[in-house]
């Protein structure tokens, strides 16, 4: 298994933990711009995005439509703040645009949309769309005999949507081994803990029964996430691949990790700097 950090397209080598730190920092800075944002989710998924953009995926930052790139579909459009943070870190979006987040005429709207942002491959916001689009992209890539893969990130709450299961059935039917789906199990959706809103466990058993190659990892354990992405890419069976990532909302900022869990974590105006300080403290620790 290759766990070396391959950042060839970027031409420089930075440890993944540092990438994840910088993604979290970008997200906090954007949250501060608007005084709000889905910051709990951005912090929980930063490690997965660091592995996606700085270990697993092939792309050219200067050419977001490069035909041979791997595609990344953000199904949970409210995680846009997290993806922008990663796209900035990847050099796809200029860092100067960070301060426009959520403002009029910005390319960084608060809910992700394809037409607005380089590197945003789909319009999310309405949950349960991404996996179905990913099936079509997987089929399209196979038609073109492309070696590219399609990655899609979705949230545990989206498991409530019937369309997600339509896509899960069809991806296995069409043996889409070029599709890697990542589900963020932070166990938090709009009305409460996801497992209480609508029970979805045992998730691994269900997905395996549907014909997928499934791994479940601690989504905030960098080594485990790297290993899971590597295994998803190299797995020999002609099956679609699912990585179930258990994550902690607010990860990296202890006082937000400890805050009463909520889909939309409240951060007071004076707390953004405290959060950045706490993140920095964790980095040097």
Partner 1 sequence: MSTATLGTDTASKPRLKTSAMIASIAAEGQRTKPAPFGHALVGLAKRRPEIVGMTADLAKYTDLHIFAQAYPDRFYQMGMAEQLLMGAASGMAHEGMMPFVTTYAVFASRRAYDFVHQTIAEENRNVKIACALPGLTSGYGPSHQAAEDLALFRAMPNMVVIDPCDAHEIEQVVPAMAAHNGPVYMRLLRGNVPLVLDEYDYRFELGKAKLLRDGADVLVISSGIMTMRALEVAQRLEADKVGVAVLHVPTIKPLDTEAILREAARTGRMVVVAENHTVIGGLGEAVAGTLLRAGVAPVFRQIGLPDEFLKAGALPTLHDLYGISTDAMAASIKGWL
Residue 166 CB, nearest approach to partner 1 (Å): 4
Residue 126 or 262: the one with the smaller Cβ distance to partner 1 is 126
**Alpha-carbon gap, residue 2 to 281, rounded angstroms:** 31
Residue 61 or 138: the one with the smaller Cβ distance to partner 1 is 138
Residue 187 CB, nearest approach to partner 1 (Å): 25
Spell out the residues 6+ positions from residue 15 whose beta carbon is closer than 8 angstroms to its own.
Answer: 5
Q: Site residues (CB under 8 A) for partner 1?
A: 71, 113-115, 121-123, 125-126, 128-129, 131-141, 143-144, 146, 150, 162-163, 166-167, 169-170, 173
Strands 150-155 and 179-185, by their bridges, are: parallel
Strand partners, 244: 183, 216
Residue 123 CB, nearest approach to partner 1 (Å): 5
Residue 145 or 234: the one with the smaller Cβ distance to partner 1 is 145
Beta strands of 192-238 (E only): which ranges?
213-218
Residue 13 or 126: the one with the smaller Cβ distance to partner 1 is 126
Measuring CA to CA, which residue among 185, 186, 34, 55 is closest to residue 111? 34
Q: Give the residue ranges of DSSP H helices in 174-209.
A: 194-197, 203-209
Residue 161 CB, nearest approach to partner 1 (Å): 9
Write the DSSP symbol of residue 210: T
Residue 148 CB, nearest approach to partner 1 (Å): 9
Residue 123 or 215: the one with the smaller Cβ distance to partner 1 is 123
Angle of CA points 18, 29, 126, to nearest 5°? 100
């Amino acid at each position: 298994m290759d766990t070396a950090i391959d950042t060839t397209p970027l031409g420089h080598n930075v440890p993944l933990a540092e990438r994840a730190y910088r993604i979290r920092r970008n997200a906090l800075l954007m949250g501060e711009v608007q005084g709000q944002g889905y910051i709990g989710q951005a912090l929980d998924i930063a490690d997965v995005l660091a592995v996606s953009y700085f270990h697993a995926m092939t792309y050219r930052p200067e050419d977001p439509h490069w035909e041979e790139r791997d595609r990344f579909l953000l199904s949970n459009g409210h995680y846009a703040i997290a993806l922008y943070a990663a796209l900035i870190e990847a050099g796809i979006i200029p860092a100067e645009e960070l301060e426009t987040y959520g403002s009029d005429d910005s390319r960084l709207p608060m809910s992700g949309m394809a037409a607005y942002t380089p590197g945003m491959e789909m319009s999310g916001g309405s949950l349960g769309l991404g996996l179905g689009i990913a099936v079509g992209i997987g089929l399209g890539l196979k038609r073109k005999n492309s070696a590219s893969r399609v990655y899609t990130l979705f949230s545990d709450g989206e498991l409530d949507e019937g369309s997600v299961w339509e896509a899960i059935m069809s991806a296995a039917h069409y043996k889409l081994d070029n599709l890697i789906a990542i589900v963020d199990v932070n166990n938090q959706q709009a009305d409460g803990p996801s497992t209480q809103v609508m029970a979805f466990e045992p998730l691994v058993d269900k997905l395996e029964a549907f014909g997928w190659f499934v791994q479940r990892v601690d989504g905030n354990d960098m080594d485990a996430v790297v290993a899971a992405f590597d295994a998803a890419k190299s797995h020999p069976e002609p099956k679609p691949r699912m990585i179930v990532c258990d994550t902690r909302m607010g990860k990296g900022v202890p006082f937000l990790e400890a805050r009463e869990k909520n889909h939309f974590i409240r951060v007071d105006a004076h707390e953004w700097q405290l959060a950045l300080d706490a993140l920095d403290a964790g980095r040097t620790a």
